[in-house]
Chains A and B, each alone.
Chain A
Amino acid sequence: MTPLAGYLLLSSFLFAIGLAGALTRRNGILVLIGIELMLNAANLNFIAFWRFGPNPEMLKGIIFVLFSIGVAAAEAAVGLALIIAIYRHYRTTNVEKMNSMKG
Protein backbone atom coordinates (compact mmCIF):
# COMPACT_ATOMS: atom_id res chain seq x y z
CA MET A 1 0.00 0.00 0.00
CA THR A 2 1.53 3.28 -1.06
CA PRO A 3 1.83 6.17 1.40
CA LEU A 4 -0.84 8.08 -0.50
CA ALA A 5 -3.30 5.22 -0.11
CA GLY A 6 -2.51 5.15 3.60
CA TYR A 7 -3.31 8.83 4.03
CA LEU A 8 -6.50 8.48 1.97
CA LEU A 9 -7.71 5.54 4.01
CA LEU A 10 -6.97 7.44 7.23
CA SER A 11 -8.88 10.45 5.99
CA SER A 12 -11.91 8.38 4.93
CA PHE A 13 -11.88 6.56 8.28
CA LEU A 14 -11.89 9.88 10.14
CA PHE A 15 -14.70 11.06 7.88
CA ALA A 16 -16.73 7.96 8.69
CA ILE A 17 -16.14 8.41 12.43
CA GLY A 18 -17.24 12.04 12.23
CA LEU A 19 -20.32 11.06 10.23
CA ALA A 20 -21.24 8.32 12.69
CA GLY A 21 -20.91 10.70 15.60
CA ALA A 22 -22.91 13.45 13.91
CA LEU A 23 -25.70 11.02 13.09
CA THR A 24 -25.96 9.14 16.37
CA ARG A 25 -25.26 11.46 19.28
CA ARG A 26 -28.00 13.27 21.13
CA ASN A 27 -26.26 16.46 22.04
CA GLY A 28 -26.18 19.26 19.50
CA ILE A 29 -22.62 20.21 20.35
CA LEU A 30 -21.44 16.71 19.55
CA VAL A 31 -23.09 16.94 16.15
CA LEU A 32 -21.00 20.05 15.55
CA ILE A 33 -17.88 18.24 16.74
CA GLY A 34 -18.63 15.50 14.21
CA ILE A 35 -18.95 18.07 11.46
CA GLU A 36 -15.60 19.61 12.40
CA LEU A 37 -14.03 16.16 12.28
CA MET A 38 -15.43 15.61 8.77
CA LEU A 39 -14.02 18.95 7.60
CA ASN A 40 -10.62 18.04 9.00
CA ALA A 41 -10.68 14.67 7.26
CA ALA A 42 -11.34 16.43 3.96
CA ASN A 43 -8.43 18.82 4.64
CA LEU A 44 -6.11 15.86 5.20
CA ASN A 45 -7.25 14.46 1.89
CA PHE A 46 -6.41 17.71 0.11
CA ILE A 47 -2.94 17.94 1.62
CA ALA A 48 -2.18 14.30 0.81
CA PHE A 49 -3.12 14.81 -2.82
CA TRP A 50 -1.14 18.06 -2.93
CA ARG A 51 1.97 16.31 -1.69
CA PHE A 52 1.79 13.25 -3.90
CA GLY A 53 0.16 14.89 -6.88
CA PRO A 54 1.63 15.93 -10.24
CA ASN A 55 2.71 19.53 -9.61
CA PRO A 56 2.96 20.59 -5.97
CA GLU A 57 4.53 23.94 -6.81
CA MET A 58 1.11 25.19 -7.85
CA LEU A 59 0.20 25.16 -4.13
CA LYS A 60 -3.47 24.58 -4.91
CA GLY A 61 -3.94 22.04 -2.13
CA ILE A 62 -2.41 24.29 0.51
CA ILE A 63 -4.43 27.34 -0.50
CA PHE A 64 -7.66 25.34 -0.50
CA VAL A 65 -6.94 23.96 2.96
CA LEU A 66 -6.14 27.43 4.31
CA PHE A 67 -9.48 28.74 3.12
CA SER A 68 -11.21 25.60 4.38
CA ILE A 69 -9.75 26.14 7.87
CA GLY A 70 -10.98 29.73 7.83
CA VAL A 71 -14.48 28.81 6.69
CA ALA A 72 -14.70 25.95 9.20
CA ALA A 73 -13.78 28.27 12.06
CA ALA A 74 -16.48 30.73 11.00
CA GLU A 75 -19.03 27.93 10.73
CA ALA A 76 -18.11 26.56 14.15
CA ALA A 77 -18.60 29.99 15.69
CA VAL A 78 -22.02 30.51 14.14
CA GLY A 79 -23.14 26.94 14.87
CA LEU A 80 -22.19 27.17 18.52
CA ALA A 81 -23.91 30.54 18.83
CA LEU A 82 -27.05 28.91 17.43
CA ILE A 83 -26.82 26.08 19.97
CA ILE A 84 -26.48 28.58 22.78
CA ALA A 85 -29.51 30.54 21.55
CA ILE A 86 -31.56 27.34 21.23
CA TYR A 87 -30.51 26.25 24.72
CA ARG A 88 -31.72 29.53 26.09
CA HIS A 89 -35.16 28.79 24.63
CA TYR A 90 -35.60 25.04 25.05
CA ARG A 91 -33.45 24.64 28.18
CA THR A 92 -31.90 21.54 26.64
CA THR A 93 -29.40 20.66 23.93
CA ASN A 94 -30.97 17.31 23.15
CA VAL A 95 -31.59 17.36 19.40
CA GLU A 96 -34.46 14.89 19.74
CA LYS A 97 -36.42 17.31 21.89
CA MET A 98 -36.28 20.03 19.28
CA ASN A 99 -39.02 18.65 17.13
CA SER A 100 -41.45 21.48 16.65
CA MET A 101 -41.29 24.60 14.55
CA LYS A 102 -43.35 26.40 17.13
CA GLY A 103 -41.62 28.85 19.33
Chain B
Amino acid sequence: MSDTLDQLFVNLKAWLVGFAPLEWQSLISAIISVAALLAVFPGLFAVTTILERKGLGRIQNRYGPNRVGPFGILQPVADGLKAMTKEDIVPRAADHVVHFIAPLVLVIPAFLALAVLPIGRGMAAIDIDAGILFFFAVGAATELAVFMAGWSSRNKYSLLGAMRAIAQMISYEVPLILSSVTVIMFVGSLSPVRIVYAQTGYSGILPHWFLLTPWGLAGFILFMISATAESNRSPFDLPEGESEIIAGYYIEYSGFKFALFFLGEYIGMFAICGLGITLFLGGWTAPLSFLTGIPSYLWFFLKLFSLVALLIWVRGTLPRLRMDQLMNFAWKFMLPMALINIGVAATWHFMEPGLIRWLICSLLVVGPYFGLGRGLAQGKHLAKRTYQYAE
Protein backbone atom coordinates (compact mmCIF):
# COMPACT_ATOMS: atom_id res chain seq x y z
CA MET B 1 0.00 0.00 0.00
CA SER B 2 2.68 2.49 0.98
CA ASP B 3 4.70 1.40 -2.01
CA THR B 4 1.93 2.21 -4.48
CA LEU B 5 1.41 5.58 -2.80
CA ASP B 6 5.13 6.20 -3.00
CA GLN B 7 5.37 5.38 -6.70
CA LEU B 8 2.02 7.00 -7.50
CA PHE B 9 3.38 9.76 -9.67
CA VAL B 10 5.97 7.56 -11.35
CA ASN B 11 3.26 5.08 -12.36
CA LEU B 12 0.97 7.90 -13.42
CA LYS B 13 3.63 9.27 -15.72
CA ALA B 14 4.40 5.84 -17.16
CA TRP B 15 0.69 5.31 -17.86
CA LEU B 16 0.37 8.70 -19.58
CA VAL B 17 3.49 8.13 -21.64
CA GLY B 18 2.13 4.78 -22.75
CA PHE B 19 -0.48 6.54 -24.83
CA ALA B 20 2.09 8.10 -27.14
CA PRO B 21 3.65 6.39 -30.17
CA LEU B 22 7.04 4.85 -29.52
CA GLU B 23 9.38 7.43 -31.05
CA TRP B 24 7.69 10.33 -29.25
CA GLN B 25 7.78 8.70 -25.84
CA SER B 26 10.97 10.21 -24.48
CA LEU B 27 9.84 13.68 -25.54
CA ILE B 28 6.41 13.22 -23.94
CA SER B 29 8.02 11.92 -20.76
CA ALA B 30 10.30 14.95 -20.57
CA ILE B 31 7.38 17.31 -21.20
CA ILE B 32 5.33 15.71 -18.43
CA SER B 33 8.17 16.02 -15.89
CA VAL B 34 8.72 19.66 -16.87
CA ALA B 35 4.99 20.41 -16.65
CA ALA B 36 4.82 18.85 -13.20
CA LEU B 37 7.76 20.98 -11.99
CA LEU B 38 6.27 24.13 -13.50
CA ALA B 39 2.94 23.42 -11.82
CA VAL B 40 4.15 22.53 -8.34
CA PHE B 41 6.90 24.98 -7.58
CA PRO B 42 5.17 28.26 -8.47
CA GLY B 43 2.28 27.07 -6.30
CA LEU B 44 4.79 26.53 -3.52
CA PHE B 45 6.11 30.02 -4.24
CA ALA B 46 2.66 31.53 -3.67
CA VAL B 47 2.24 29.68 -0.38
CA THR B 48 5.73 30.71 0.74
CA THR B 49 5.11 34.40 0.12
CA ILE B 50 2.09 34.47 2.40
CA LEU B 51 3.79 32.32 5.04
CA GLU B 52 6.82 34.58 4.96
CA ARG B 53 4.83 37.74 5.40
CA LYS B 54 2.71 36.32 8.21
CA GLY B 55 5.73 34.73 9.87
CA LEU B 56 7.83 37.88 9.67
CA GLY B 57 4.90 39.85 10.97
CA ARG B 58 4.51 37.64 13.99
CA ILE B 59 8.25 37.76 14.73
CA GLN B 60 8.05 41.53 14.55
CA ASN B 61 5.08 41.60 16.94
CA ARG B 62 2.44 42.51 14.37
CA TYR B 63 -0.11 40.70 12.25
CA GLY B 64 0.91 40.00 8.67
CA PRO B 65 -1.52 40.62 5.82
CA ASN B 66 -4.99 39.73 7.08
CA ARG B 67 -7.43 41.57 4.83
CA VAL B 68 -7.68 39.35 1.78
CA GLY B 69 -9.46 36.11 2.61
CA PRO B 70 -9.60 34.49 6.05
CA PHE B 71 -6.33 35.20 7.88
CA GLY B 72 -4.99 36.71 4.67
CA ILE B 73 -4.38 33.46 2.84
CA LEU B 74 -5.63 34.84 -0.49
CA GLN B 75 -2.93 37.55 -0.45
CA PRO B 76 -0.85 35.87 -3.21
CA VAL B 77 -3.85 36.08 -5.53
CA ALA B 78 -4.10 39.80 -4.85
CA ASP B 79 -0.35 40.19 -5.36
CA GLY B 80 -0.48 38.30 -8.64
CA LEU B 81 -3.36 40.42 -9.94
CA LYS B 82 -1.52 43.58 -8.97
CA ALA B 83 1.69 42.46 -10.66
CA MET B 84 -0.09 41.56 -13.86
CA THR B 85 -2.11 44.74 -14.20
CA LYS B 86 0.44 47.32 -13.08
CA GLU B 87 1.88 49.63 -15.73
CA ASP B 88 5.27 48.51 -16.99
CA ILE B 89 7.49 51.59 -16.79
CA VAL B 90 10.85 51.45 -18.54
CA PRO B 91 13.19 54.45 -18.16
CA ARG B 92 13.78 56.28 -21.39
CA ALA B 93 17.57 56.02 -21.11
CA ALA B 94 17.48 52.34 -20.34
CA ASP B 95 18.85 49.74 -22.69
CA HIS B 96 15.56 48.20 -23.76
CA VAL B 97 16.68 44.82 -25.04
CA VAL B 98 18.86 43.96 -22.06
CA HIS B 99 16.27 45.40 -19.67
CA PHE B 100 13.65 43.09 -21.14
CA ILE B 101 15.73 39.94 -21.19
CA ALA B 102 17.25 40.22 -17.69
CA PRO B 103 14.24 38.79 -15.74
CA LEU B 104 14.07 35.84 -18.15
CA VAL B 105 17.78 35.11 -17.75
CA LEU B 106 17.17 35.06 -13.99
CA VAL B 107 14.13 32.80 -13.96
CA ILE B 108 15.16 30.19 -16.52
CA PRO B 109 18.34 28.95 -14.79
CA ALA B 110 16.45 28.82 -11.48
CA PHE B 111 13.92 26.41 -12.98
CA LEU B 112 16.69 24.46 -14.74
CA ALA B 113 18.40 23.94 -11.40
CA LEU B 114 15.25 22.35 -9.97
CA ALA B 115 15.30 19.69 -12.64
CA VAL B 116 18.18 17.61 -11.25
CA LEU B 117 16.87 17.30 -7.70
CA PRO B 118 15.43 13.91 -6.75
CA ILE B 119 12.05 14.77 -5.31
CA GLY B 120 11.05 11.21 -4.57
CA ARG B 121 12.16 7.67 -5.14
CA GLY B 122 12.82 7.58 -8.89
CA MET B 123 11.43 11.08 -9.34
CA ALA B 124 14.33 13.19 -10.56
CA ALA B 125 13.32 15.00 -13.74
CA ILE B 126 16.80 14.58 -15.25
CA ASP B 127 19.28 12.00 -14.06
CA ILE B 128 22.66 13.04 -15.41
CA ASP B 129 25.99 11.81 -14.24
CA ALA B 130 27.35 15.26 -13.40
CA GLY B 131 24.16 16.61 -11.82
CA ILE B 132 25.73 18.70 -9.06
CA LEU B 133 28.07 20.37 -11.56
CA PHE B 134 25.05 21.19 -13.73
CA PHE B 135 23.37 22.76 -10.70
CA PHE B 136 26.32 25.01 -9.92
CA ALA B 137 26.78 25.89 -13.59
CA VAL B 138 23.24 27.22 -13.94
CA GLY B 139 23.63 28.99 -10.61
CA ALA B 140 26.58 30.84 -12.10
CA ALA B 141 24.43 31.94 -15.04
CA THR B 142 22.16 33.73 -12.58
CA GLU B 143 24.89 36.22 -11.73
CA LEU B 144 24.99 37.46 -15.29
CA ALA B 145 21.26 38.19 -15.06
CA VAL B 146 21.84 40.30 -11.95
CA PHE B 147 24.43 42.35 -13.79
CA MET B 148 22.18 42.78 -16.83
CA ALA B 149 19.33 44.01 -14.62
CA GLY B 150 21.53 46.46 -12.75
CA TRP B 151 23.38 47.88 -15.71
CA SER B 152 20.54 48.22 -18.19
CA SER B 153 18.57 50.52 -15.91
CA ARG B 154 21.23 53.28 -16.34
CA ASN B 155 20.82 54.20 -12.72
CA LYS B 156 23.78 54.63 -10.40
CA TYR B 157 22.09 53.00 -7.41
CA SER B 158 20.99 50.12 -9.53
CA LEU B 159 24.50 49.54 -10.85
CA LEU B 160 25.96 49.79 -7.36
CA GLY B 161 23.48 47.24 -6.08
CA ALA B 162 24.27 44.92 -8.97
CA MET B 163 28.03 45.13 -8.37
CA ARG B 164 27.58 44.39 -4.69
CA ALA B 165 25.23 41.52 -5.43
CA ILE B 166 27.64 39.93 -7.91
CA ALA B 167 30.60 40.33 -5.55
CA GLN B 168 28.57 38.71 -2.78
CA MET B 169 27.35 35.85 -4.96
CA ILE B 170 30.82 35.08 -6.29
CA SER B 171 32.39 35.20 -2.83
CA TYR B 172 29.84 32.84 -1.32
CA GLU B 173 29.94 30.42 -4.23
CA VAL B 174 33.33 29.18 -3.07
CA PRO B 175 32.28 27.95 0.42
CA LEU B 176 29.06 26.61 -1.13
CA ILE B 177 30.92 24.45 -3.63
CA LEU B 178 33.60 23.42 -1.13
CA SER B 179 31.04 22.27 1.44
CA SER B 180 29.31 20.16 -1.20
CA VAL B 181 32.70 18.75 -2.22
CA THR B 182 32.88 16.96 1.14
CA VAL B 183 29.69 15.04 0.34
CA ILE B 184 30.74 14.37 -3.25
CA MET B 185 34.10 13.09 -2.08
CA PHE B 186 32.45 10.82 0.46
CA VAL B 187 29.92 9.34 -1.95
CA GLY B 188 32.24 9.25 -4.94
CA SER B 189 29.69 10.52 -7.44
CA LEU B 190 28.34 13.83 -8.73
CA SER B 191 24.85 12.46 -9.34
CA PRO B 192 22.20 13.61 -6.81
CA VAL B 193 20.30 10.34 -7.21
CA ARG B 194 23.36 8.34 -6.15
CA ILE B 195 24.02 10.73 -3.26
CA VAL B 196 20.52 10.14 -1.89
CA TYR B 197 20.89 6.39 -2.32
CA ALA B 198 24.09 6.56 -0.27
CA GLN B 199 22.04 7.96 2.62
CA THR B 200 19.38 5.26 2.72
CA GLY B 201 19.74 2.61 5.38
CA TYR B 202 19.25 2.85 9.10
CA SER B 203 21.41 1.89 12.06
CA GLY B 204 18.95 1.28 14.88
CA ILE B 205 16.32 3.90 14.28
CA LEU B 206 18.70 6.66 13.19
CA PRO B 207 19.21 7.22 9.47
CA HIS B 208 22.54 7.39 7.68
CA TRP B 209 22.15 11.05 6.78
CA PHE B 210 25.33 13.03 6.37
CA LEU B 211 23.91 15.62 8.75
CA LEU B 212 24.48 13.18 11.62
CA THR B 213 28.27 13.18 11.28
CA PRO B 214 30.58 15.95 12.54
CA TRP B 215 31.77 16.95 9.10
CA GLY B 216 28.22 16.74 7.78
CA LEU B 217 26.90 19.04 10.47
CA ALA B 218 29.66 21.58 9.86
CA GLY B 219 29.18 21.24 6.13
CA PHE B 220 25.42 21.71 6.42
CA ILE B 221 25.82 24.86 8.48
CA LEU B 222 28.36 26.25 6.00
CA PHE B 223 26.08 25.27 3.12
CA MET B 224 23.02 26.96 4.60
CA ILE B 225 24.91 30.16 5.38
CA SER B 226 26.25 30.25 1.82
CA ALA B 227 22.77 29.44 0.50
CA THR B 228 21.24 32.45 2.28
CA ALA B 229 24.01 34.60 0.85
CA GLU B 230 23.53 33.20 -2.65
CA SER B 231 19.81 33.92 -2.59
CA ASN B 232 20.45 37.47 -1.34
CA ARG B 233 18.34 36.93 1.72
CA SER B 234 18.73 38.57 5.05
CA PRO B 235 21.15 38.85 6.83
CA PHE B 236 22.99 39.05 3.51
CA ASP B 237 20.55 41.24 1.66
CA LEU B 238 22.56 44.46 1.43
CA PRO B 239 22.30 44.42 -2.39
CA GLU B 240 18.54 44.62 -2.12
CA GLY B 241 18.27 46.26 1.26
CA GLU B 242 15.21 48.37 1.31
CA SER B 243 16.54 50.93 3.69
CA GLU B 244 19.91 51.55 2.06
CA ILE B 245 19.75 51.25 -1.63
CA ILE B 246 16.01 51.16 -2.18
CA ALA B 247 15.74 47.96 -4.09
CA GLY B 248 19.19 47.54 -5.53
CA TYR B 249 19.37 46.11 -8.97
CA TYR B 250 15.63 45.94 -9.58
CA ILE B 251 14.72 49.53 -8.80
CA GLU B 252 13.61 50.32 -12.32
CA TYR B 253 11.46 47.24 -12.74
CA SER B 254 7.72 47.38 -12.20
CA GLY B 255 4.74 45.16 -12.68
CA PHE B 256 5.19 41.74 -14.17
CA LYS B 257 8.98 41.93 -14.56
CA PHE B 258 9.34 42.66 -10.86
CA ALA B 259 7.12 39.68 -10.12
CA LEU B 260 9.41 37.58 -12.34
CA PHE B 261 12.43 38.71 -10.30
CA PHE B 262 10.62 37.81 -7.12
CA LEU B 263 9.65 34.44 -8.55
CA GLY B 264 13.21 33.79 -9.71
CA GLU B 265 14.62 34.61 -6.31
CA TYR B 266 12.23 32.29 -4.47
CA ILE B 267 12.64 29.45 -6.96
CA GLY B 268 16.40 29.84 -6.55
CA MET B 269 15.89 29.58 -2.81
CA PHE B 270 13.85 26.37 -3.25
CA ALA B 271 16.47 24.94 -5.56
CA ILE B 272 19.36 25.57 -3.22
CA CYS B 273 17.42 24.32 -0.19
CA GLY B 274 16.56 21.26 -2.25
CA LEU B 275 20.24 20.72 -2.95
CA GLY B 276 21.02 21.05 0.74
CA ILE B 277 18.36 18.44 1.49
CA THR B 278 19.79 16.11 -1.16
CA LEU B 279 23.36 16.47 0.02
CA PHE B 280 22.99 16.51 3.79
CA LEU B 281 19.48 15.59 4.89
CA GLY B 282 19.05 12.43 2.89
CA GLY B 283 16.78 13.69 0.10
CA TRP B 284 13.54 11.75 0.20
CA THR B 285 14.50 9.27 2.97
CA ALA B 286 12.54 9.19 6.20
CA PRO B 287 14.19 10.41 9.43
CA LEU B 288 13.34 7.41 11.57
CA SER B 289 13.28 3.81 10.45
CA PHE B 290 9.67 3.17 11.42
CA LEU B 291 8.40 6.12 9.36
CA THR B 292 9.30 4.71 5.95
CA GLY B 293 5.63 4.06 5.22
CA ILE B 294 5.04 7.72 4.41
CA PRO B 295 5.68 8.45 0.70
CA SER B 296 9.11 9.77 -0.29
CA TYR B 297 7.94 12.99 -1.96
CA LEU B 298 6.08 14.00 1.19
CA TRP B 299 9.31 13.76 3.17
CA PHE B 300 11.11 15.91 0.61
CA PHE B 301 8.49 18.64 0.78
CA LEU B 302 8.37 18.44 4.56
CA LYS B 303 12.13 18.95 4.75
CA LEU B 304 11.94 21.76 2.18
CA PHE B 305 9.21 23.43 4.21
CA SER B 306 11.27 23.24 7.41
CA LEU B 307 14.37 24.67 5.71
CA VAL B 308 12.33 27.54 4.24
CA ALA B 309 10.83 28.18 7.69
CA LEU B 310 14.36 28.28 9.08
CA LEU B 311 15.34 30.86 6.47
CA ILE B 312 12.29 32.99 7.27
CA TRP B 313 13.09 32.76 10.97
CA VAL B 314 16.68 33.88 10.36
CA ARG B 315 15.44 36.73 8.20
CA GLY B 316 13.26 38.06 10.96
CA THR B 317 15.85 37.70 13.67
CA LEU B 318 19.30 38.76 12.53
CA PRO B 319 20.34 42.27 11.48
CA ARG B 320 21.88 42.92 8.14
CA LEU B 321 25.60 42.49 7.53
CA ARG B 322 27.60 45.36 6.09
CA MET B 323 29.39 44.78 2.79
CA ASP B 324 32.88 44.55 4.22
CA GLN B 325 31.73 42.36 7.11
CA LEU B 326 30.06 40.10 4.58
CA MET B 327 33.17 39.74 2.41
CA ASN B 328 35.44 39.24 5.41
CA PHE B 329 33.15 36.53 6.67
CA ALA B 330 33.20 34.69 3.35
CA TRP B 331 36.89 34.82 2.60
CA LYS B 332 38.47 34.80 6.03
CA PHE B 333 36.17 32.52 7.98
CA MET B 334 34.05 30.32 5.76
CA LEU B 335 36.68 29.43 3.18
CA PRO B 336 39.23 28.10 5.74
CA MET B 337 36.45 26.28 7.63
CA ALA B 338 35.25 24.65 4.41
CA LEU B 339 38.77 23.51 3.56
CA ILE B 340 39.28 22.13 7.08
CA ASN B 341 35.95 20.35 6.75
CA ILE B 342 37.19 18.51 3.66
CA GLY B 343 40.14 17.27 5.72
CA VAL B 344 37.80 16.17 8.51
CA ALA B 345 35.62 14.24 6.07
CA ALA B 346 38.71 12.43 4.78
CA THR B 347 39.75 11.62 8.36
CA TRP B 348 36.27 10.26 9.05
CA HIS B 349 36.46 8.01 6.04
CA PHE B 350 39.77 6.46 6.95
CA MET B 351 39.16 5.78 10.67
CA GLU B 352 37.26 2.75 11.95
CA PRO B 353 33.70 3.41 13.15
CA GLY B 354 33.44 4.07 16.87
CA LEU B 355 33.52 6.64 19.60
CA ILE B 356 37.17 7.67 18.92
CA ARG B 357 36.23 8.68 15.38
CA TRP B 358 33.45 10.91 16.66
CA LEU B 359 35.67 12.51 19.29
CA ILE B 360 38.61 13.24 17.02
CA CYS B 361 36.52 14.57 14.14
CA SER B 362 34.42 16.78 16.44
CA LEU B 363 37.61 18.21 17.94
CA LEU B 364 38.99 18.81 14.45
CA VAL B 365 35.87 20.79 13.56
CA VAL B 366 35.28 22.68 16.80
CA GLY B 367 38.92 23.61 17.46
CA PRO B 368 39.53 25.63 14.28
CA TYR B 369 36.07 27.17 14.64
CA PHE B 370 36.97 28.71 17.97
CA GLY B 371 40.52 29.45 16.88
CA LEU B 372 39.47 31.28 13.73
CA GLY B 373 36.66 33.03 15.52
CA ARG B 374 38.86 34.35 18.30
CA GLY B 375 41.65 35.18 15.88
CA LEU B 376 39.47 37.19 13.51
CA ALA B 377 37.64 39.07 16.23
CA GLN B 378 40.70 40.31 18.03
CA GLY B 379 40.36 43.82 19.28
CA LYS B 380 36.72 44.18 18.40
CA HIS B 381 34.58 43.96 21.47
CA LEU B 382 30.87 44.47 21.42
CA ALA B 383 29.44 47.00 23.82
CA LYS B 384 27.30 45.72 26.64
CA ARG B 385 23.79 45.05 25.45
CA THR B 386 21.09 47.39 26.76
CA TYR B 387 17.42 47.02 26.00
CA GLN B 388 14.82 49.71 25.91
CA TYR B 389 11.24 48.53 25.83
CA ALA B 390 8.39 50.70 24.70
CA GLU B 391 6.31 51.51 27.75
Any A–B CB pair closer than 8 Å: no
Binding site for A on B (CB under 8 A): none
